[in-house]
């Protein structure tokens, strides 16, 4: 597997301050659980942008933050990580998004609350002045935190760009339904896919039926991450299940694994790699990511991924 310099990518969607509380023992509901609390930059789009930057991709982030300490922290961290933050909208009308998650002692999210009112203000009208900056990218990544008119504006304004999308959550997944025909790649999980399609995602036959429906809507590639059950993928021509290797002792926080996987899918597309190399690379990126407390591991790099691939 060889690497070459990648063209620019623009990522549009959420940027949050993530607060993760990790229990030291099995979680007890309706009780105080001893554990640790960690604050870090997060948000699907922002995580994807950071991961791409750490892989050497020229990456622009389009999101909205409040004019508050959390917003300043996200801007400073993004610049430090190498993300082009010039097109982030700083708004006084709402606070910076905050994501609060409770993790079990294995690092898996059990429940989360997202305060993302500011994302509703990242409208098509706010994106229109950024048309040239967005269009200069060769590939676009969107997440379903964008409001409906912004999603429509992106896919209708740049019909010749490959668009990669993340469903984000069961509450947001349906926002992508009108635009499935414009998506090159859809990254989702079983619960989000069920909310989007109306099909169950339990058995292999369920997944085949769901994939067939999504392809019929126009989605070119589907990647459905299934936690301990691995990954289901379908490109129309190729379909299958793979195991994503993770040593349970090395999993500190799994919440950013899907974002790293999506970033790696983007990178592989820019490199024009075949599907088998793409799956190996993306799985290794997710494996590196879960070893850190933050949803985006600052140690992620091509070197780190190559090290995993050689194990």
DSSP code for 173: G
Query: For residues 87 and 137, what is the distance between their CA atoms, to the nearest angstrom?
Result: 13
User: For 131-146, how does the pLDDT look when each residue is reduced to its tens digit (9 = 90+)?
Assistant: 999 999 999 999 999 9
Mean pLDDT, all residues of the chain: 92
> Token digits for 71?
């917003």
**Residues 96, 71, 304, 186, CA torsion sign:** positive
DSSP code for 254: -
DSSP code for 93: S
Query: For residues 239 and 223, what is the distance between their CA atoms, to the nearest angstrom?
Result: 10
Residue 223 has pLDDT above 60, yes or no: yes
Which is more confident, 80 or 236?
Answer: 80
pLDDT in the model for residue 41 = 94
Helix or strand run (H / E) with residue 207: helix 204-217
Query: For residues 41 and 46, what is the distance between their CA atoms, to the nearest angstrom?
Result: 8
Distance set, CA 292 to CA 192, 255, 285, 286 (Å): 25, 10, 12, 11
The correct CATH number of 9-16+42-98+119-310 out of 2.30.30.110, 3.30.70.260, 3.40.47.10, 3.40.1190.20 is 3.40.1190.20
pTM of the model: 0.91
DSSP code for 96: P
Helix or strand run (H / E) with residue 206: helix 204-217
> Token digits for 108?
């898996």
Looking up tokens 């997440």 gives 143
Query: For residues 106 and 63, what is the distance between their CA atoms, to the nearest angstrom?
Result: 31
Distance set, CA 286 to CA 169, 210, 244, 257 (Å): 19, 24, 8, 5
**Banded model confidence at residue 50, pLDDT cuts 50, 70, 90:** very high
User: For 251-278, how does the pLDDT look when each residue is reduced to its tens digit (9 = 90+)?
Assistant: 655 668 899 999 999 999 999 999 999 9
User: For 93-103, how does the pLDDT look when each residue is reduced to its tens digit (9 = 90+)?
Assistant: 999 999 899 98
pLDDT in the model for residue 227 = 80
Among the residue ranges 15-19, 198-202, 254-258, the one predicted with the least confidence is 254-258
Q: How far is CA 271 from the centre of its chain?
A: 19
Residue 248 has pLDDT above 80, yes or no: no
Which is more confident, 114 or 191?
Answer: 191
In contact, 63 and 309? CB cutoff 8 Å: no
Query: For residues 268 and 274, what is the distance between their CA atoms, to the nearest angstrom?
Result: 8
Looking up tokens 């554990």 gives 35
Q: How far is CA 189 from the centre of its chain?
A: 11
> Token digits for 141?
């990544």
Percent of the chain whose pLDDT exceeds 90: 81
pLDDT in the model for residue 249 = 53
């Amino acid at each position: 597997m060889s690497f070459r310099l990648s063209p620019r990518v623009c990522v549009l969607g959420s940027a949050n301050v993530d607060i993760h509380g990790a229990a030291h023992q099995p979680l007890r509901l309706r009780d105080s659980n001893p554990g640790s609390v960690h604050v870090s930059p997060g948000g699907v789009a922002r995580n994807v942008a950071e991961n791409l930057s750490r892989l050497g991709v020229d990456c622009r982030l389009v999101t909205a933050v409040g004019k508050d300490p959390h917003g300043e922290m996200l801007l400073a961290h993004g610049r430090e990580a190498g993300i082009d933050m010039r097109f982030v909208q700083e708004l006084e009308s709402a606070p910076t998004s905050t994501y609060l998650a409770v993790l079990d002692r294995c690092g898996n999210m059990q429940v989360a609350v997202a305060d993302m009112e500011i994302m509703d203000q990242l409208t098509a009208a706010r994106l229109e002045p950024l048309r040239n900056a967005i269009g200069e990218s060769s590939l676009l990544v969107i997440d379903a935190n964008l409001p409906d008119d912004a999603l429509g504006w992106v896919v209708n304004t740049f019909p010749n760009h490959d668009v990669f999308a993340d469903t984000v959550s069961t509450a947001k997944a349906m926002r992508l339904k009108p635009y499935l025909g414009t998506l090159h790649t859809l990254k989702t999980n079983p619960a989000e896919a069920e909310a989007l399609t109306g099909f169950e995602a339990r058995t292999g036959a369920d997944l085949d039926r769901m994939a067939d429906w999504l392809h019929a809507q126009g989605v070119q590639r589907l990647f459905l991450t299934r936690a301990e059950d691995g990954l289901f993928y379908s490109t129309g021509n190729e379909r299958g299940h793979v195991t994503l290797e993770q040593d349970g002792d090395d999993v500190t926080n799994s919440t950013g694994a899907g974002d790293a996987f999506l970033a790696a899918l983007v990178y592989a597309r820019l490199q024009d790699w075949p599907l088998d190399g793409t799956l190996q690379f993306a799985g290794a990126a997710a494996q590196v990511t879960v070893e850190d407390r933050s949803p985006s591991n600052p140690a992620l790099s091509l070197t780190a991924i190559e090290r995993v691939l050689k194990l």
